[in-house]
């Protein structure tokens, strides 16, 4: 596994605690500092988190838009990248989007089991 930058590790931890605003800040720092293509992976994770932040704040349109952007950004990294299970994150983000897009989706989304970023060699 490639070693993730500290800001990415912190961003993932915050994302998995459903602290999406704080996760955004950490991931944005990593995204701005990175020059390699993996910066797009950090941005995509950030966008999924912002989408969930919008959903929690009852902004359905913003949630769907950011989940779409984030999902599209994850696609080039399918499988595992940087020790992140991107395929699982993409599947979970798409499932969340499907739920949120449905009638009463903001009310039906299960916040007790939100989308998480899973690391492939941690557990």
Q: Buried b vs exposed e over 83-99: b needs ≥16 C-beta within 10 Å?
A: bbbbbbbbebbbebbee
What percent of the chain is predicted at pLDDT more than 90? 92
Averaged pLDDT for residues 96-104: 98
What percent of the chain is predicted at pLDDT more than 70? 96
Question: Which pair of structure tokens corresponds to residue 67?
Answer: 């989940």
pLDDT level of residue 3 (50, 70, 90 thresholds): confident
pLDDT tens track for 34-70: 999 999 999 999 999 999 999 999 999 999 999 999 9
Count CB atoms within 10 A of the CB of residue 62: 15
pTM: 0.94
């Amino acid at each position: 596994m490639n070693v993730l930058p500290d800001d990415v590790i912190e961003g993932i931890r915050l994302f998995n605690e459903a602290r999406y605003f704080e996760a955004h800040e950490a991931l944005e720092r990593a995204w701005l500092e990175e020059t390699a293509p993996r910066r797009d992976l950090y941005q995509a994770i950030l966008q999924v988190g912002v989408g969930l932040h919008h959903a929690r704040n009852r902004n359905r349109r913003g949630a769907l838009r950011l989940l779409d952007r984030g999902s599209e950004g994850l696609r080039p990294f399918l499988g595992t990248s940087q020790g992140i299970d991107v395929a699982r994150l993409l599947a979970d983000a798409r499932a969340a989007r499907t739920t949120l897009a449905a009638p009463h989706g903001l009310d039906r989304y299960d916040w007790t089991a939100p989308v998480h970023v899973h690391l492939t060699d941690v557990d």
